[in-house]
Amino acid sequence: SRVLRELSEKKKVVVVEHDLAIMDFLCDVVHILYGEEGVFGVVTHPKAVRHAINTYLSGYLSEENIRFSEPIEFEEHPPKPRQDLPLLVTFQRLVKMFKSFRLTVETGAIRVGEVVGVVGPNAIGKTTFVKMLAGVVEPTDGSVDAKIVVSYKPQYISIDYDGTVQEILYKTAEPLFTSNFHKTEIFDALKLKHLMEKPVSSLSGGELQTVAVASCLAKEADLYLIDEPSAYLDSKQRMLVSRTIRRVVENLGKSALVVDHDVYFIDMISDALMVFDGVPGKEGVGRGPFSLHEGMNLFLKAVDVTFRRDEETRRPRVNKPGSYMDRRQKEIGEYYYASV
Ligand SMILES: Nc1ncnc2c1ncn2[C@@H]1O[C@H](COP(=O)(O)OP(=O)(O)O)[C@@H](O)[C@H]1O
Ligand SMILES: [Mg+2]
């Protein structure tokens, strides 16, 4: 994003992007495209970035008086005092050595009823950590006291299945069809109905992702491990998926660990945060879980970006680099939602 910003001082740059935080950071004006999938599309006049994102989320173009979709509401969730929640699983300083990579995850614990977000650059060990919790990879040193059942959605989904979505979900995620809760909160919420007759092998990346998340959430487990759910999804699908994960975890009193690069997605979904850093491909260190506020502050400081809340929608907003709020928040070390 920084490279593109520099380039835009001399040239015009057009960016197509699903990550609203990136868009907020990068763009001055935004064209919204709306319409009906596979039928028609309409491009709006350019709007200032804040107004464009709010309009997009509201589903309503006030200038043109056109409703183009359902509104998507940002559900603000009050911070949960973590220390009040019972422990679900503790991991003791985990070390994993590969031939040319070393991962250390400091001792930490996941609590019952919380969603823990995981952020950090690529090739820093996030997936390896998730796999150690899932019991797929053995730590070289340290341990997970895991007498718990996990349901795991891997980062790379490869379903080698010769049948329809309905068939595979019947096999792997029966509650989607038999439990009212799962039907409403997962099947309907993720709009799976129109995918039922499709062969699994014909699904697009986004459709496959949605099916994989649904299948993961429908399984009976104590801890849901969800590695990069927003990949291949558009911004609206991301909101639906994040809301679904939160609702399921909250209503069933379970826990989830969610790795993702979309900072708005992570902000929406997480009660607590783990932050990974180090030298990608060589050495990674994972820390946390911290409270969302503390974790976000650490993470945003490392990438040198500040956030505030949008007054209208309560969604997070990236402060423009060098703006008054940006400078002020950096000065006092509040990279995340300072009330200044
Ligand atoms: N089975 C393996 N054997 C050797 N190296 C591996 C293996 N799995 C992962 N790695 C290496 O470990 C590092 C971290 O990978 P990963 O946990 O997938 O990172 P992230 O999920 O943060 O992108 C990468 O450099 C990757 O190449
Ligand atoms: Mg990964």
pLDDT at 233: 95
Structure tokens that stand for 222 in this block: 């104590």
Residue ranges of the chain with per-residue pLDDT less than 50: 340
pLDDT at 31: 96
The minimum-distance atom of ligand 1 relative to the CA of 281 is 25
Task: Kindly state which CATH superfamily the domain 82-302 is placed in.
Answer: P-loop containing nucleotide triphosphate hydrolases (3.40.50.300)
Q: Where are the beta strands (DSSP E) in 154-231?
A: 223-227
pLDDT at 2: 76
**Is any ligand 1 atom within 6 A of the Cβ of residue 96?**
no
DSSP track, 290-301: EEHHHHHHHHHH
Number of C-alpha atoms within 13 angstroms, CB side, residue 110?
Answer: 28
Structure tokens that stand for 90 in this block: 């503790």
pLDDT at 77: 73
pLDDT at 314: 82
Q: Which amino acid is at 57?
A: L
Structure tokens that stand for 319 in this block: 């402060």
**Is any ligand 1 atom within 6 A of the Cβ of residue 98?**
yes
User: 147: which residues sit within 8 A by CB, 6+ positions away?
Assistant: none
Map out the domains of the chain as residue ranges: 1-71, 82-302
Distances (CA, A) of 148 to 31, 87, 129, 218, 221: 47, 12, 16, 16, 8
User: 333: which residues sit within 8 A by CB, 6+ positions away?
Assistant: 297, 301
**Is any ligand 1 atom within 6 A of the Cβ of residue 151?**
no
Q: Where are the beta strands (DSSP E) in the chain?
A: 29-30, 33-36, 40-43, 47-48, 60-61, 66-67, 87-97, 102-105, 108-111, 115-119, 141-144, 150-153, 223-227, 255-259, 272-279, 283-291, 307-309, 316-318
Distance 223 CA to ligand 2 centre (A): 18
The answer to whether 165 and 269 have CB atoms below 8 angstroms apart is: no
Which mutation among 128, 140, 299 tests ligand 1's pocket best, with the greatest number of atoms within 8 A of CB?
Answer: 128
pLDDT at 298: 95
Residue 338's nearest CA partner among 304, 303, 296 is 296
CA distance between the termini of the chain: 26
pLDDT at 339: 64
Determine the Cα–Cα distance for residues 102 and 233; give it in Å rounded to an integer: 31
Q: What is the pLDDT of residues 4-21, one digit of tens each?
A: 878 878 888 899 988 888
User: 65: which residues sit within 8 A by CB, 6+ positions away?
Assistant: none
Ligand nearest to the CA of 132: 1
β pairing state of 87-97 and 141-144: antiparallel
Ligand nearest to the CA of 122: 1
Q: What is the pLDDT of residues 327-336, one digit of tens each?
A: 999 999 999 9
- The angle, 0 to 180 degrees and rounded to 10, between the axes of the packed helices 165-172 and 205-218 is 20
